[in-house]
Structure 1
């Protein structure tokens, strides 16, 4: 009886090994995630701005410092290199509920960032599905300042210009699935200084500058 059992086991062993090999061939093996490709998404965040309103004569400087919430869309492209570095380009535009209010001799000045956007390069190093990155590029913002007079003549728009500058930042992005990506990002943007719109043609130096610190979270879909 023992001889029969040993013979049966000896005959069936190769069959079992072959079946296990077949199963290993059929079961999928997880491949490393690829960051290469086009993506698009949405983002929201908070912006804290610093802005100075300056008139050389009679020597007036007022901090406008708008702050508030932002929300917008972005689109970009990544290329993952063989050494796990990821290079890419991204553009974004955001609607801004960012404003400030400061006192002035003849009333109040309200500052508003109407919209902002950028075109940037990105570079990062991937840890499979997690991508820390840095980013830098050109930035623009529509900036307005209004003198609130409180008189029957109404308010006076004293500045209405598109500021062009630069932006730098860093963030972390994670691929929760093969298609859906989430991120958190910090950005500093310097939109430069523009002449005060109302001072055009007036014999004095008057300008407004603008910088912002942004914290953003976003969700993207990879095509």
Structure 2
């Protein structure tokens, strides 16, 4: 009897090992990351601007028009909030809004001439910017490259700073308006946990052209425009 039991155990052992192997092979694997849901976060970066200050017939030294590049640039930082929806084919669509504080400015020296020892600086300041955008991307599990586009707004100021012979400074606001335009960009996000998502992004924004704030007192056409190139890095929390 013992011999029969031992022989049976020897015969069934390979079968049991095979069954255990099959169970290991068919065990469920972790499901892919789901991008659907709300998120909010912070971002920092650098903005390089392009801005032309134009006064028709306001040239210096015999020029017909005055057209000066102000070109503000500097560091930026802000907050964003949005929502994604991942479809069955791994395409992800979403919407996002952001608000950014800008420490971006530029200075252009303006030679007033006349030999009176008087010099003028034009200072441009991008105070804040914001956007509401639609996004679309394709998910490679936890990595999401995407493109985005939408409307954008920015508060832009241009100030003339005069320094007289006595050393006193006079500031004259030339422009203090909110510009409305559009923005387009691309980036990539990576979910390094189920909740925390890191991103890098490039964005181009065109805030259009507006008449100077003091244009009502000038008998000529005046305007200032603004475009920016942003590179941003951010961190979001998915709810």
**Equivalents in 2 of 1:188, 1:210: separation in Å?**
11
Instruction: Work out the CA distance in 1 between the residues paired with 2:11 and 2:219.
Output: 104
Q: 1:104 aligns with which of 106, 110, 126?
A: 110
For residues 197-208 of structure 1, the aligned pairs below 5 Å read: 197-208=213-224
Are the counterparts in 1 of residues 161 and 169 from structure 2 also a CA contact under 8 Å? no
Deviations along 1:200-223, whole A, 9 cap, x unmatched?
243211110000000001110000
**1:77 has 2:93 as partner:** no
Aligned residue for 2:6?
Answer: 5
d(CA) in 1 for partners of 2:193 and 2:28?
17
- Superposed CA deviations along residues 154-204 of structure 1, whole A, max 9, x for unmatched, are 211111000000000001111111111111100000000011112224321
Quick one: distance in 2 between partners of 1:200 and 1:166?
Answer: 27
1:1-223 equivalence runs, <5 A? 3-10=4-11, 29-58=29-58, 59-106=65-112, 107-151=120-164, 152=168, 154-223=170-239
Cα distance in structure 1, aligned partners of 2:7 and 2:159: 96
Relative to the length of structure 2, the TM-score reads 0.85
CA shift at 1:103, angstroms? 1.3
Query: Structure 1, residues 121-156: CA drift from partner, whole Å, max 9, x if none?
Result: 000011111111100000000000111101436211
Shift of 1:5: 2.8
CA distance in 2, matches of 1:40, 1:153: 44
Shift in Å, 1:29:
2.6
Q: How far apart in 2 are the matches of 1:2 and 1:148? A: 107
Which sits farther off after the overlay, 13-22 or 140-149? Answer: 13-22
SS in 2 for 1:178: coil
* Aligned CA-pair RMSD: 2.2
Q: Partners in 2 of 1:71 and 1:51 — Cα distance?
A: 21
CA distance in 1, matches of 2:174, 2:201: 33
In 1, are the aligned partners of 2:45 and 2:77 still within 8 Å (CA)?
A: yes
Runs of at least 4 residues off by over 4 Å: 1-4, 10-25
Gaps of 5+ in 2: 59-64, 113-119
Give me the TM-score of the superposition, normalised by structure 1. Answer: 0.91
> What SS does the aligned partner of 1:204 have?
coil
Give ranges in structure 1 of 5+ residues lacking alignment.
Answer: none
